Amino acid sequence: MTFFNNLKLCTRKIYLQINTHNKIYKKLIPLLSVSMILYFSFYCPSTKFTQEGLINSLSHRNPPNWLMPSHPGESIDIELTKNYKRLKLMEFRKKTVVLQLDIKELFEKNKSDNSSRYILRDDLSAVVSTLAEFWAITIVTDQDHNEKIIVGKGSQPINLNDRVLRWQTEIEAAADKYHLEPALIAAVIEQESGGEPESLSSVGAIGLMQLMPSTAELMGVNPYDTIQNIDGGAHYLQLQLESFGDVQIALAAYNAGPGEVENGHWIKIPETIAYVEKVPVLIRKYEQIWQEHSEKSQESQDVRSTL
C-alpha cells in the first residue's frame, strides 16, 4: 500500500511541475506516450518483439480487402515484403535515435523556441510514418501484368530490384515537395551514384545524390541518411533551377557548382560537359518508366473496379 501511495504522490508532483512550467512540457506528453509505446515494443528486453518473428508475421498477412481487393493473378511476395520491412525497421531505428537526441537537446539546453519545436514535430512525424509503413506495407506480385505493387502506400507499382527505382517512394516524395519531376531526381541519382546509398567519391561527395558536406549543411540534411540525402539533393536541384531557369544549366551548377556556371568556366570542364549530356538521356528514360507505371496502375485499377 505504501508503494502505491508513493507512486501516487510522485505522479502528482510530476503533474504539478508540468502544469506550472513551460507550456512545451504539456505538448511533450503525447510525445512521451508514443516514446513509451515504442520503447516497450522495440527496445525493452522483456517486452520487445523479436525482429524476425515480427517481420515474418507481418509479411504473411494479407492486405485488407478494402485496400486491395483480391484478384486471381495476385499473391504476396513474401521475401520482397520481408526485405522491405527490414529496410523500414532499420530506417525507423535511425530516426528514433535522431528523435531521442532532439529530446535530449531540448531538455539539456532548455530550448523553447519555435524552430526546436518544429524540428521535434517533424522528427516525430518521420518516426511515426516510418513505423506505419513498416507495419502496414505489403508487396504484391500481379502475375497478369508482371509487376510488383506496394500495398499500403498508394498501391503504386515499383521495381525493388532496380538500384534506382527501389527508392521510388522517396524520390516521388522529394519531387512532390520541391515541385520537380521524379524522372529528374532519378536520373541524377543514377548518374551520381548508380543508386548506391553508401557511395563516397574521392572528393568526399556522399550518398545517392553525392552531396558535398558543405552542400548538405546548407540544405540542413544528414547526407548519410538516405531519405535526407535525396531530400537535400532535390532541394539543391530546385535552387539551381530557380537561379538559372534551364535544366541543362541547372545540372551544370549541380555538378560543377553555381560559381562555375556564373563565371562561364563550366563549359571548359570535361566532366561537367559529359554530365549535362548524359543526364537528359537518363531523364527521358525515367520519364518513360514513370509513364508506363502510371498506365499499368490505371489499367490495374480499372480491372479491379470491374470485379
Averaged pLDDT score across all residues of the chain: 78
pLDDT digits (tens, 9 = 90+) for 78-93: 888 888 888 888 888 8
What integer pLDDT is reported at residue 67 of this predicted model? 47
Q: Mean pLDDT throughout 213-232?
A: 92
Q: Which one has a higher pLDDT value, 262 or 47?
A: 262
25-39 per-position pLDDT tens digit: 555 556 666 666 666
Which of 84-88, 113-117, 267-271 shows the lowest per-residue confidence on average (mean pLDDT)? Answer: 113-117
pLDDT of 47 reads 53
Which pLDDT value is given to residue 146? 59
Does 97 score more than 50 pLDDT? yes
Residue 211: beta bridge partners? Answer: 206
**Alpha-helical runs (H) found in the chain:** 2-20, 23-42, 51-59, 78-108, 114-136, 168-178, 182-193, 213-219, 226-244, 247-256, 258-262, 270-305
**pLDDT (0 to 100) of residue 158:** 59
Q: Is the pLDDT of residue 286 over 90?
A: yes
Give me Rg for the CA atoms of the chain. 23
147 a catalytic residue: no
Q: 227-243 in b/e burial notation, b at 16+ Cβ within 10 A?
A: bbbbbbbbbbbbbbbee
Strand 147-151 and strand 74-76: the pairing is unpaired
| Residues above pLDDT 90, as percent of the chain | 36
Residue tagged active-site, from 74, 91, 192, 287: 192
Mean pLDDT, residues 269-273: 95
How do the domains of the chain map onto residue ranges?
A: 164-307
Residue 258, pLDDT above cutoff 80: yes
First to last CA, the chain: 63
pTM metric for this prediction = 0.58
| 221, pLDDT greater than 70 | yes
Domain 164-307: give its CATH code. 1.10.530.10
* pLDDT of 5 higher than 70: no
